[in-house]
Amino acid sequence: MTEIKKWLHKLTFSNKSIAPLVVFRILFGIMMFLSTLRFILNGWVYDLYIQPSYFFTYLGFDWVKPFDLYGISLLFGLLLLSTLFIALGFFYRISSIVFFICFTYIELIDKTNYLNHYYFISLVSFLLMFLPANKACSLDTYLGFTSKQEKVQAWSINILKFQMAVVYIFAGLSKLNYDWLIEAQPLRNWLKHQTDLPLIGDLMQYEFTAYLFSWAGALFDLFIVFILINNRFRIYGYAMVIIFHGLTAVMFPIGVFPYVMIVSTLIFFSTDFHKNIVAWIQGRISLKSKNTNKGQINSPILPKRSTGIILSIYISIQLLLPLRYLAYPGDLFWTEQGYRFSWRVMLIEKAGYAQFFIHHPENGMKKRIDNKEYLTPQQEKMMSTQPDMILQFAHHLRDEYSDTVIVEANGVEINIKEPKVTAEVYVSLFNKGSRLFIDPEVNLSKINRGFHHKDWILKNEK
Amino acid sequence: MDENAVNYDADAEVADNATCTYEPFEKTQMLTNICDNYIIPAYTNFNEKNIALSNSASGFSSNPTVDAFEALKQTWKDALLSWQQVCFLDFGPAAFVILNNQVNIYPVGTDKINNNINLGVYNLDLADNNDAKGFQALDYLLHQPGMTDEDHVTYFMSNANAMTYLTDVIDNINYWSNYILTEWTGSYKDSFKSNSTSESNAQGSSISNLVNGLCYHYESIIRKGKVGLPLGAFNGFSQQEMPDRVECYYHQESLPFLVESINAMNKYINGASYNTGENGLGLDNYMDHVGATQNSNSLSSVINSQIDEIIEKVGQLNDPLSNEIIVNKPAVNEAYSALQQLVPYMKADMMSALGVIVTYQDNDGD
């Protein structure tokens, strides 16, 4: 065995206290409960899943539908219930599966609502399905549904640390670009709207502040994990976590994401820290469990070899997916090919305006489409700057007009078989001015969806 | 304030090499300027013009002469022009009651008007009567096809119901102009000036309200409503002209109202004083402050020159617009293109520059 192999083996299979995993489970459950409740109370279930008449599904997931009001309410009801059950460790395995399925299903309905932090939650809940996080300090062990366990294999904690590291480090790497570092974009623009902030508002008008925030943000993302795994500097690192995420929470409308990160990074703290929390919780709950079924690590379901293979597959996917943009030509921020699922957070300021046309089959006449008839303002906004969504909407229009006979107000009858759909789209990146985004002549109804390069996106003429 | 200015000077030297100039920008100062020097005076004028309209209507109804009728028509025109100066303040109290639908919806429902007059019983507060009231109902009542001024005087003298309807419609407009002014001079003014401290310029902040209202009204009511629809630009594939969709179809004069709305919008964007035209802090300064550019020109100057181009192209058209779109369609098309080009400048460039967000949902900037 080489040193590296030994090290990996230790990281994966050594026995560790279950305490960090248990604390993570409880805090995750509580955060998700609050986050789901907030979502429901804000009325977003209706706004996002009932009101729209069209949904931008993900490629391969076109079968995902929001159902009706009852269907989606049921999904959210199950979601909310499962968060509580996860926190309590009650029917944990089932609850974590229900949470993962409901949450991911809801996120897959419409890519308009894609947020990196939703993707993060999907991944974490995916992992939680396989982790023995209910083996202590849970209703499951109290009621005797499962055996108690003081130790777990190290991978079940380290995979969560790995996931956190992926988020931060890729977010940091994605900031290492010309716009962020040299032009301090988009913060240069965004900070100028913040001059009303208490205490630090006055600083926001200076260019220096934008550079400070950009560089500090990049350094924070790149190195915070290394600080957090260090016993001596951890406490300072955590103070930085609170300051960094606290600032973003005050300045930008990013919802619960900062709080999720503040809570999740506790996973990096020492075993003793987590044991104290568990002891504190158990001290509050004076009930004595009747369950005496106390064991060593249960004989693992999977042999070590399989565990190792499955973990390396997961890890490889996580490391490669954010790099897939390298396979596409052109400016990533302009084309957004390979942009999602890559931890690119608050990186670009982009706005667009899209006018679609349906062409008359014979003569050159074309009908202007009013996007508002099909899309909500948020959908229209997201669609106008993202080529895959532009294409999807064009296909939706194609399907709406295929094989239709339209009688115009002046009595003219138009027989459409396969409509030609074009779009005049203007996009402005980093407030440099809107310019033509895609080839206005290309018939979008004939272009296939897919992961191949979209050569109908025009160059970003700087 | 002075202390800040001193601090600012010291730091400004550090940032001297910067590409943009750095003057401190106070959003509340801009909002205060726009509110005190444009919005309130413009709504005050709107209300005054409507009071004048109401007065001339009482004059006409107590003494129905041709002179009184002509005076009535003139005050109607003045009041409608004053509406063009406030129509794009389409947020806050105006958006709450959908003021545009209360006072200036067209095409006007002439059958509904005649029906109401014949019945003598109607409720102008019903949404169903929106197209039977407002300035466009007056457009029809005061300019009925084939009737001279004398004919109109005779019509109103001989038809008490029509006279009552005329004054009821004017009273209704008056109610709304008074309502909106009261709302603004009351509580809304202060919340407008101060409500800019929420996260960035998220929805619900004054700047977001102002910009969203402006962009929506320009795109839908001015560009589309005043020119695009009658031109047929939105009429399916055949794009058949719809001349009866023009504003003030019966008056046969639409362009002064279009020009007034564009000119007023120009003043408003540039933070100019309603009364004196003197330049103050406006959206243009805000755009400059964040360094927004369009093809390496400042976005504010691009928007201003686009507005100039609109005025120039519209200036080449002749009233009645309903006729012009048939006989001189290429020129109207050009004017429409100029109007259209302003939409991406406002909806994409300006909204993005000012950090305006369209919805309440969370956002992580991608």
- In terms of DSSP bridges, do strands A148-149 and A294-295 run parallel, antiparallel, or are they unpaired? parallel
> CA-CA distance, B247 to B204, in Å (whole number)?
32
Contact list in B for residue A339 (CB cut-off 8 A) is 366
Q: B297 phi and psi, to 5 degrees?
A: -100, 160
The reply to whether A220 falls in a domain is no
Q: What is the mean pLDDT of residues B236-247?
A: 92
What residues of chain A lie within 8 A of the CB of B28, using their CB? Answer: 196
Nearest residue, CB atoms, A254 vs list B201, B344, B363: B363
Residue B63, burial from CB neighbour count under 10 angstroms (0-12, 13-18, 19+): exposed
Report CB contact under 8 Å: B236, A194.
Answer: no
Handedness of CA B71, B76, B77, B83 (dihedral sign): positive
Place of tokens 């980093």: A430
For chain B, give the mean pLDDT. 88
Alpha carbon distance A225, A271 (integer Å): 17
Q: What does the pLDDT read at residue A380?
A: 92
Q: A253 lies in a domain?
A: no
Contact B245, B231 (CB under 8 A): no
Q: What is the dihedral of CA B148, B152, B153, B156, to 10 degrees?
A: 170
Q: What angle (nearest 5°) sits at the alpha carbon of residue A163, between those of residues A158 and A166?
A: 125
Q: How far apart are CA B34 and CA B281, in angstroms?
A: 8
State the pLDDT at residue B15: 35
Do both A139 and A57 map to the same domain?
yes
User: Which pLDDT belongs to residue B364?
Assistant: 53
- Say yes or no: A290 and A436 in one domain: no
Using DSSP, state whether B3 is helix, strand or coil: helix
Question: What's the pLDDT band for A284 if we cut at 50, 70, 90?
Answer: confident
Closest CA to B82 of B110, B123, B41: B41
- Quick check: is A456 in a domain? no
Alpha carbons A98 and A82: distance in angstroms, whole number: 7
B18 contacts on A by Cβ (under 8 Å): 207
Residue A291: pLDDT over 70: no
Q: Which backbone phi and psi does B363 adopt, to 5 degrees?
A: -155, 130
Contact between chains at A196 and B233 (C-beta distance less than 8 A):
no
Q: Does B281 contact A at CB distance below 8 Å?
A: no
Same domain, A164 and A70: yes
Interface contact flag, A254 B362, Cβ < 8 Å: yes
Residue among B11, B25, B197 minimizing CB distance to A192: B25
B351 CB within 8 Å of a chain A CB:
yes
Q: What is the DSSP string of B46-94?
A: HHHHHHHHHHHHHHHHHS--HHHHHHHHHHHHHHHHHHHTTTT--STHH
Same domain, A54 and A149: yes
Q: State the Cα–Cα distance between residues A336 and A331, nearest whole angstrom.
A: 8
Of B11, B351, B357, the CB nearest to A206: B11
Backbone CA torsion sign across A176, A177, A181, A186: negative
Write down the pLDDT at residue B7.
34
Quick check: is A334 in a domain? Answer: no
Quick check: is B152 in a domain?
A: yes
Residues A365 and A273 in one domain: no
CB contact under 8 A, B362 and A414: no
At A460, list the tokens: 């970003």
Q: Which of B8, B290, B295 sits opposite A192 (nearest CB)?
A: B290
Q: How many domains does chain A have?
A: 2
Q: What is the ipTM of this complex?
A: 0.81
| pLDDT at residue A290 is higher than 70 | no
Question: Contact at 8 Å (CB) between B233 and A368?
Answer: yes
Q: How many CB pairs under 8 A join A and B?
A: 178
| pLDDT tens, position by position, A205-236 | 788 999 999 999 999 999 999 999 999 999 99
Residues of B in contact with A208 (CB under 8 A): 11, 14-15
In a domain, B189, yes or no: yes
pLDDT of residue B17: 35
Q: What is the CB neighbour count within 10 angstroms for residue B221?
A: 18
Q: At what angle do helices A116-128 and A92-109 cross, to 10 degrees?
A: 150
**B355 pLDDT tier (thresholds 50, 70, 90):** confident
- The reported pLDDT for the residue numbered A304 is 85
pLDDT tens digit sequence for B326-354: 999 999 999 999 999 999 999 889 988 88
Which residue in B14, B351, B364 is closest to A115 by CB distance?
A: B364
Interchain CB contact of B246 with A (< 8 Å): no
Identify all chain A residues contacting B358, using CB atoms and an 8 Å cutoff.
377-378, 381
The answer as to whether B101 is a domain residue is yes
- Kindly report, residue by residue over B248-274, the tens digit of the pLDDT: 999 999 999 999 999 999 999 999 999
| Residue-range definition of the domain harbouring residue B91 | 24-353
Tell me what the mean pLDDT of segment A388-398 comes to.
97
Shared domain check, A364 and A271: no
- A289 three-state secondary structure: coil
- Put simply, whether B107 touches A (Cβ < 8 Å) is no
Q: Which of A193, A378, A384 sits opposite B361 (nearest CB)?
A: A378
**Is A330 inside a domain boundary?**
no
DSSP string covering A143-167: TTSS-EESEEETHHHHHHHHHHHHH
Regarding whether A144 and A76 lie in a shared domain, the answer is: yes
Residue B194 near chain A (CB below 8 Å): no
- Chain A CB within 8 Å of residue B186 CB: no
Closest CA to A14 of A388, A331, A271, A352: A271
Domain limits for position A408:
349-446
| Residue B212, in any domain of the structure | yes
Question: Nearest CA to CA, how far is A437 from chain B (Å)?
Answer: 12
Residue in A428, A429, A435 to test binding to B, most B beta-carbons within 10 Å: A428
Residues with Cβ within 8 Å of residue A373, at least 6 apart in sequence:
none
Mean pLDDT across A146-159: 92
pLDDT of residue A245: 93
Among A117, A345, A431, whose Cβ lies nearest the Cβ of B290?
A431
Residue B5: inside a domain, yes or no? no
The first and second tokens of residue A431, run together, are 């407030």
- Does a structural domain hold residue A454? no
Within-domain flag for B297: yes
Looking at the structure, do residues A280 and A423 belong to the same domain, yes or no? no
Same domain flag for A391 and A428: yes
Q: How many domains, chain B?
A: 1
Q: What pLDDT is stored for residue A228 in this prediction?
A: 96
Q: How far is A130 from chain B (nearest CA, A)?
A: 29
Asked if the structure places residue B365 within a domain, the reply is no
Q: What gap in Å lies between CA A132 and CA A21, rounded to an integer?
A: 8
User: What is the CB neighbour count within 10 angstroms for residue A163?
Assistant: 19
Closest Cα partner for A217 from A247, A194, A253, A257?
A247
B290: distance to nearest CA of chain A, Å? Answer: 5
Residue B360: band (very low, low, confident or very high) from pLDDT cuts 50, 70, 90: low
A83 and A118 fall within a common domain: yes
Q: CA gyration radius for chain A?
A: 25
**CATH number of the domain residue B73 falls in:** 1.20.1420.20
Statement: residue A441 has pLDDT above 80: yes
**Does a structural domain hold residue B15?**
no
CB A89 within 8 A of CB A95: no
Backbone angles phi, psi at A195, to 5 degrees: -65, -10
Q: Within a domain: residue A273? A: yes
Rounded-to-integer distance, Cα B250 and Cα B108, Å: 10
Confidence of residue A201 (pLDDT cuts 50, 70, 90): confident
Predicted confidence (pLDDT) at residue B150 exceeds the cutoff of 60: yes
pLDDT tier at A301, thresholds 50, 70, 90: low
**What integer pLDDT is reported at residue B211 of this predicted model?**
92
Report the amino acid identity of residue A355.
Answer: Q
Nearest Cα residue to B180 out of B97, B106, B257, B105: B97
Residue type, A252: F
